Structures are given as C-alpha cells and as structure tokens.
Structure 1
C-alpha cells in the first residue's frame, strides 16, 4: 500500500498525510482562515508570553547589550529581529504619542488664534497714532499700482484702528502691512512682494512665500508641530544609521558596520520602549519633572552598560566614548535634524 503525501501550503514541503501539522515548519495541515484564527495568530506572534516579542522584551529592558551580542553570535531565531522589534516598538510609541499631540495641536492653535483675535480687537479699540498711520499709508501707496486701490480706499483703511506694535508673533516682515493688504483684498503677488519676495524669485522663494502667507492666514502653529511629529519617524530612519556610523568610527576594529547597526536598532528600541511606558504612566498620573530627568539619565547609564558588554571594553573607555557619542549626537545632529524637520514641515504642512 503506497503512502500518501500532502504538500504544506506554507513551506511547500511534502509530508505524510497522517500528520496534522507540517513537520518542517509547524503549519497546521487544514486550517480555514477565520477571524478567531487571525486574532489568535496576532496574539501569538506579538503578545503572548511565549512569543519572540516577550522573549526579546525582558532582556532588552534588563540586560543592556545582551540582545545584540546574541544576534551577532548567531542566535537569530530565538529573539525578534532587531529591525522588526524597533519598528513594532516605534509604532506603539507614536500611536500613544498621537493622543497627546492631538491635545497639544488644539492648545497651540487655540492659543495662536486667541492672540490673533486679541490683535484684531486692538484694531477695533485703539486709535492709530500718527506714526503708525503714516507707515501704513506709505505701504499702501507703495503698492498702489499693483492693488489698484484709490486714495479713498487707502484713507478708509488708514482711518481704521491699528494693531499695537507689541504683537509677540513675529514673521520677519511687517505684519500690519500684510493685514492691511489682506483687508484690501490685494493679490497674492502684491502680498508676496510686501513680505520681501524679489522681483525675479527663484523656485525656493516661490515655494516659501506662499507657505508664509498660508501660515499668516491660518494661524495654525499646532498644525506645523503635528507635521513635525508625523515626519519624526522618517528623521529617525536617517538618524539611526548615522548613530551606527558614529559607533563604527569609535569602534573601528569591532566589526562591520552591520554589527553597529544591530546594536543601534536594539538601543533605539529600548529608548522608545522607555518613553512608551512613560506616556502610559502619564495617562494615569502626572509624572514629576525630576522623574523625567532621572529616566533620561538612566537611558545614558543603559547606553554605557550596553556599550561595555557589546564591545567588551574597559569601563573608563566605555564611559568616555559613550559620553562623546551622546554629546555629539544630541548637541549637534539632533538639533540640526530638528531644524531641518521644522523647515520641511513648514513648507509642506
């Protein structure tokens, strides 16, 4: 009697038909995809205690440098892949962070609009002194050929109440003049010139000034902030390999660049896990500022210990190199990345 074989749908290996599970990969022979099975597989892959995530989570938080050493040493199936662990934890972090950022966006926008409304109220309640009135008249007359405003229209605008000069919101141009041109329904080209655009602007100015005008009209500082937060994962994907490059420069003989990249994935995963826990805690209680400072210090201590264990170097060298790497990364690279991120977010919000 000939033996019958089945082919595994997962690994496509042949096995005897009497088996309920594939002996090669463990896939069940006959299993219909139901909602319950889909939910169970999700839990089993990420949330159950016997999953690779929890097998990786505990040593990640309690044994600095252990996971990258295990991965480099060849133990790559017992724990979650470093890139996969990093992506999963950052997803959780930004999911939690989004709840707080929604409130921040609302508070910023409301505060900015309140200040703007306060300025508009000043327009209606405060008389324009002769100097301010003359400045506005000069600005409108200067753009008279573009706005096609009559002298009567200019006199009507100038005779209105003006904005006080102590407006704390600075755009790098005369906001009073722009508000006057907007009130006069001036064209965008006219307003751009009043903002400082050159007669023959380049492609960058053509991108910048419309955004400046848009921001001036919308008064949504919170929207730019949220755009920055949404773009942060992209910045991190750039900063993480740069961080690994720094490790490579300081530990040139300690392995290939990929080794340092593995260490960076696990270390950044630890950082985001710590702050994810902190976000969850903040939802329950108000965490004092000294606790946040202590946590920041603990991250640096974790980094020093991880470097010591991973690169197998003396403590004094580990502390010195960790301090230099942290300082250069936090004091130079991160601020530069933040400025670039803010500018890009402003251009595309």
Structure 2
C-alpha cells in the first residue's frame, strides 16, 4: 500500500489492492474508502469525529434509559413521564462531564476523584428515583443499582460500537 501511495496510484487502484471487489455495495465501497483514508492520514481526525458523535449518541440513548426505567416503574406514569426523568438525569451527567473535562484542562484531576464523580452518577440516580418516583430508599437503591448495571452491560457497549462505527464512516 505504501508503494502505491508513493507512486501516486489512483483511489480505485488502492482500493483494489486492499481487496475490494469489482462491484461492491455502497456500504462496502464507503467502508474501504474510509479504511484507505484512515491509513493515509494515520488516524488523524478520527478522534475529533468520535468526540463530535458522543453528544448525539447520548441524546439517542435517552429513550433506552427511559425504557429501563419503565420496566422498573411499570405502574408509575407514562413513557413520556420516564422520558422527562431521563432528560433531567442525562442533563446532570452531561453537565458533570463537561465540568470534569473543563477542569481537567486546567488542573490534572486525580483518578480517585474522577472515579468518585463517575460513582456519583449512580448516587444521584438513587436520590432522583427516591424523590421523583416517591419510592423507598431500599427500593430506589435496588432499582438504581439494577438500572445502572443493565444500562452499563447492555446499552453502553452497543452505543460505543455505534459511536465508533458512525465516527469511522463519517470522518
């Protein structure tokens, strides 16, 4: 590939050398084109595309969080009720992460404090569930733990894969 790039080969020649078929689908052609772009630029720009995709992904993950809350609070409110709660909760997370990033630019925050901030999201969820849904502390603790666990195990990996794929395909 390096010799093709040095000799000024056309894009089609490079894609063929990478193993792209004669008549690829639009998705395969885009995928191979992005791979070539990634190789030629040595990954430059993909990190920015990843950062640009995260807020959109957080917004798209809101309904999934609301579905988990609906499962645990089946008889309490409509889906719109749970979406409003999700908006409030995600606003807290987004604001805290923005503050964390801004402070980290000025002062290097120790890892222990960063871990504490990440655990504060679950603690905030516990308090929010107790206040918003008027559940007991034990019930709110159980549900906050279960929702956080399920969200982390099911939704976050799928979202990470989606963010990585979209960032790669659009950068």
Instruction: Calculate the TM-score normalised by the size of structure 1.
Output: 0.46
Higher helix share: 2
By how many angstroms is 1:260 displaced? 0.8
The residue aligned with 2:89 is 267
Q: Which runs of 5 or more structure 2 residues have no equivalent in the other structure?
A: none
Following TM superposition, where does structure 1 have runs of at least 4 consecutive aligned residues deviating by more than 4 angstroms? none
Higher-Rg member (1/2):
1
Q: Alpha carbon RMSD of aligned pairs, Å?
A: 1.7
2:45 is paired with a residue of what secondary structure?
helix
The residue aligned with 1:247 is 69
Name the structure, 1 or 2, with higher relative contact order (CA <8 Å, separation 6+): 2
Q: Which runs of 5 or more structure 1 residues have no equivalent in the other structure?
A: 1-177
By how many angstroms is 1:238 displaced? 0.8
The residue aligned with 1:214 is 37
Could you say if the C-alpha distance between residues 228 and 251 of structure 1 is closer, same or farther in structure 2, counting changes exceeding 3 Å? same
The residue aligned with 2:107 is 285
Q: Distance in 2 between matches of 1:326 and 1:311?
A: 17
Choose from 289, 300, 305 the match for 2:127. 305
Instruction: Describe the superposition over 1:246-303 as per-residue Cα deviations: whole angstroms up to 9, x where unpaired.
Output: 1112111001111111111111111122223323432442210100011111221111
The residue aligned with 1:319 is 141
Q: Distance in 2 between matches of 1:211 and 1:277?
A: 33
Q: Distance in 2 between matches of 1:226 and 1:284?
A: 20
Contact 2:46 2:168 in 1 (8 A): yes
Q: Distance in 2 between matches of 1:291 and 1:222?
A: 31
Query: Is 1:185 the counterpart of 2:8 in the alignment?
Result: yes
Query: Is 1:227 the counterpart of 2:49 in the alignment?
Result: yes
The residue aligned with 1:139 is none
